[in-house]
Structure formats: structure tokens, C-alpha cells
Structure 1
Amino acid sequence: MTAASDELVRLHAENGVATVTLNQPERRNSLSMALLEALSEVLEQIAGDGNVRVVVLAAAGKVFCAGHDLREMRKQFDSHDFQLRLFRQCSKVMQQIVNLPKPVIARVAGVATAAGCQLVASCDLAVAEKGARFATPGVNIGLFCSTPMVALSRNVSRKHAMEMLLTGELIDAARAEQIGLINRAVEPEALDETVYGMATTIAAKSGHTLKIGKEAFYKQLEMPLAHAYDYTANVMAENMQANDAREGISAFLDKRDPDWQHK
């Protein structure tokens, strides 16, 4: 599964890992309507591909993603309908990432600002090079980062999220790791090794189990404690009926490698 290099979003899959690359470096990979629609289509394609177990979200060029395309937005200043469609399309893509039945790892090189920072926060895991920078700078241009706030506030504490949203200032990768926006900040030469090492480790697991776990993780977060335990008890009981759970437990007890069937 490979998309052409002139696509807005490139797609390459190998050994259970799909790499999705934002491919508009000359536009700082800004999230225009066209790019958002292309990204949505690729995510939908991946969702139905049983050979893909992990997704890496990357970007071409020196900027991961500069957020929305402000030039496109300015051309549509007087169209409330366009602005609403744009933000709804962006929200759809972010929810597709969260609801995708495969873990998504952000590979961040360069700057991720506004909706680009939202993109990082929406991924399940994120690894950035130490030179990466992050911000939600909408407040600086009179457009508060309200939709990026949804993903940001679900990944870092309230005060850290509010500091980013109210000041609009850039933070470095070390700070992003400290507050939980990313998992790791690594040297640039170690970025791919770290990202794909993580992806390979995850891809070696049962795809069915990963799907169950990711879905349950996000659902239980929104529940009161007692409801979360009741829900996850049912999830685990159901999970026990899966072929891969029976195979995994048997393989562990028999001291052998499991033979996943991904079901």
C-alpha cells in the first residue's frame, strides 16, 4: 500500500506499520481543507486494512505542521459556512485518529503549532526530536485555539494546557515531554530508530488485542471510577473469548512464542 509522491498525504506500509506523511512542505504542511480531506481518506483506508497494526504520522520538510492554512481562511473571511466546515473537518480527522483501531505514533521534527499541536496531542503516542517546538498561538492573532484545546486538555494538566493556550508561546521538546504532550524527546539522528523501534514492538502484538485496548482506554477515561471498572471488567471478559487471548496465555504458560491470528 503506497501512495504517489505528489499526493497531499503520502502512504507507505511495510511489516504491519503504515507511515502517513503530510506532504506539503512548501506550505509548512498547513491543514488546508484539501489536506484534511486527503488525510481523512487515508485514515479511512488504513482503518479497514487488516495488514496494518500501527500507524506512524510524519511530515515532509522542516515543519511538522503549522496548523490551519491562514491564507485559505483569509480568503473566506465572510463565509461562516466555510469556516464551520473547515473546523468540523479538522475535528473529524482528530477523532478519526483517536477512534482508529490501531495505535498512532506522531513522529515530530520541526514545529507543531495550533492545529499541528492538536494533531500531535490527538495521537496515542508521540516522539519528537529535541529541536522540535510546540505552541497553541491562536491568542496572538485573535483566534483562540479552541479546537486544539480539546486534544491538548486531554493530554496535559489543566494549568499546563491553559499556560500554552493563554500565552501562545513556543515550548521545546524537553518541556513537551515533561508535561506529557509527547512521550520522548530524542536526538535528531535517533528519531526514526526510536519511532520505528516503538512501532515494530507494538506491531508484533495481536492486532485484535490492540484494537480492544485502544478503544477501551479512551472510553473509560470519560467514565466515573465505578463505571470505568464495570466497563473494563466486561471488556476483559469479552477479550478472554478471543482466539488471540487464548493463544497468548497458552503460549506464555507453554514457554513459546504466540502465533497471533489477529482475531
Structure 2
Amino acid sequence: MTGERVRVEAAEGTARVELARPEARNAVDLPMCLQLRAAFEELDADDSVRVVLLAAQGPVFCAGADLKERTGKDAAWVRRRRMASFAAYAAIEACRRPVVALLQGAVVGSGGEITLAADFALAADDVTFRFPEPHWGTVGATQRLQRAIGKRRAKELLFTNRPLGAREAHELGIVSRLVPAAELAAAGHETAARIAGAPPSAIALTKRAVDLGAETDLDRGIRIEMAAIEQNLADGGWRDGVERFRDRARTAPTTEEDA
């Protein structure tokens, strides 16, 4: 592995992971895959981290896979390379800490996979998406994309390689919130601060319950939530929330909605 492809900084409970290959429009190559996986596995094990911002250097979030690195490689190498990318996306998705993607410029192919592996995304209002894998003669983005926007819409984007603008990406749910490009960093910082201010155990259990519940029906989902509630009660962390709620009530009448 040569060169720094991923940069990680952490302070006051917030980690910032940056795709750090701006000279190549942050195209994803094998070293980046390996470094992304390692970074998120380390952050997952770091109890001082409460939230992760996933961003990129330069004007483009990610221009997709670096197809140039496949020149002269055989099918076995390409297969291993794809498995490395799947492992990187899985490490992002499996991180116990909330992962918020901050998007600007073009988000293409593998960039979309990285985005969809995060818990949600904030984006500059000039962001654009494309999912061109079939037009590159390969296969990709067939699973997370359809789970995010539905099978038929995913097929249309994959089959046509049609650019997806910021507003439509927001309407489809790929992006949770749009902000002016100049305000993206501030919006990310504000969002991270709100998440980091919540009890970390409750956030982790909530993330796990939502993720597991999405894989099953409502009845089993309620059981998953009840298991999370029982774990939360056993940990005792819920008492901190009750104390904060009581302290607020001393100064002004409040409800759970105001917390």
C-alpha cells in the first residue's frame, strides 16, 4: 500500500475521515479500499469516538472506481479488488458510531456506494450522482441503491447512467439534507455536535435496532427494539437522560418533545 488515501482526525468525540486523493478526484483504488476498511475498524473500536464525519478533499467527493489500476490485471486480481471494496463499504456500514457523509461535487459509482454505506448524508446543493457501472462494462451498486430508492428507480439509474441532481437525490432519500456549498462544513459540525451530545450507548443501540429491524418484519422488529431497551436498562445509562430531563424541568416546564 503506497500513499495516504484516507486521512483521519479525531477531537472531542468527533472523528473526521477524509478521502485524500484529490489529484485523482478521489477515485477509489485498492489502497483506498484497504485504508478505508482499516480506518473504520479502528474507529469502531475507539470508545472515545461518538460520531464520524465522512468527507473528501477537493471539489469532488468521489469520481468512482479507478479503472486505470485494472490495466494489465487478470480476472482473479479484479475479483480480489472488488472484494476489498465490499469489505470497505461493510466496515463503514458496520461501524457502531453514527457515520454522516458530507458530499460535494460529483458522486459517481463507488462514491455512491460509500455514501449509501453511511447512516445518512448531508450534501451541497450542487452535488450530482451517477451510477454508471454497466456502462463501464462492470456490475456494481445493485444492492444498496435499490434498498435506498427502490428496485425500479435503481434499475433506471443503472441502465441509463443518467445524472441525478441534488434536488432529485434529496427527494429519493439518497441525501437527507441539502445546504449551500459554503455551509456544508458548518452543517456537518453542527450535526456531529448534536449526535455527540446524546448518550453514546443509546445512540449505538438505536443504530443497531434500526439496522436489524430493516431486515425483518414489524413484529420481529419490535422484539429487536425490546431487546435494545432491556440492554439499555441493564447498562444504566438511561438514568443520565432522566437526570438531564429533570434538570431542565426545574427551570421551565418541558416535555420529551422539547429534549
**Deviation at residue 196 of structure 1 after TM alignment:** 1.2
Deviations 1:5-32 (A, max 9, x none): x722111111211110111111111111
Question: Which residue is 2:133 aligned to?
Answer: 138
TM-score for the superposition, normalised by structure 2: 0.91
Distance 2:22 2:51 in 1: 24
Q: Secondary structure at the match of 1:149?
A: coil
Which of 214, 217, 221 aligns to 1:221? It is 214
Which of 14, 17, 23 aligns to 2:11? It is 14
Question: Which residue is 1:56 aligned to?
Answer: 53
- Is 1:32 matched up with 2:29? yes
Distance 1:204 1:149 in 2: 36
- Is 1:45 matched up with 2:42? yes
Which of 95, 100, 106 aligns to 2:95? It is 100
Distance 1:251 1:186 in 2: 31
Asked if the contact 1:157/1:179 (under 8 Å) is kept, the reply is no
Distance 1:46 1:236 in 2: 25
Question: Which residue is 1:70 aligned to?
Answer: 67
Deviations 1:169-227 (A, max 9, x none): 11111111010001112111111111111111001111111111111111111112221
Q: CA RMSD in A?
A: 1.6
- Is 1:90 matched up with 2:104? no
Deviations 1:138-184 (A, max 9, x none): 12222232xx2222122112222222111111111111101000111
Distance 2:59 2:225 in 1: 42
**Deviation at residue 253 of structure 1 after TM alignment:** 3.5
**Deviation at residue 251 of structure 1 after TM alignment:** 3.0
Distance 1:114 1:154 in 2: 16
**Overall identity of the aligned pairs, in %:** 27
Distance 1:23 1:256, change over 3 A: farther
Deviations 1:93-127 (A, max 9, x none): 11111110100011111111111111111110101
- Is 1:181 matched up with 2:185? no
Gaps of 5+ in 2: 251-259
Distance 1:75 1:127 in 2: 38
Gaps of 5+ in 1: 1-5, 258-263
Distance 1:18 1:243, change over 3 A: same
Give the aligned length: 248
**Deviation at residue 135 of structure 1 after TM alignment:** 1.0
For residues 168-207 of structure 1, what are the structure 2 equivalents within 5 Å?
168-207=161-200
Question: Which residue is 1:3 aligned to?
Answer: none
- Is 1:114 matched up with 2:109? yes
**Deviation at residue 47 of structure 1 after TM alignment:** 1.0
Distance 2:67 2:56 in 1: 19
Asked if the contact 1:9/1:21 (under 8 Å) is kept, the reply is yes
TM-score for the superposition, normalised by structure 1: 0.89
Asked if the contact 1:39/1:93 (under 8 Å) is kept, the reply is yes
Q: Secondary structure at the match of 2:143?
A: helix
Displaced runs of 4+ in structure 1, greater than 6 A? none
Which residue identity is paired with 2:82? F
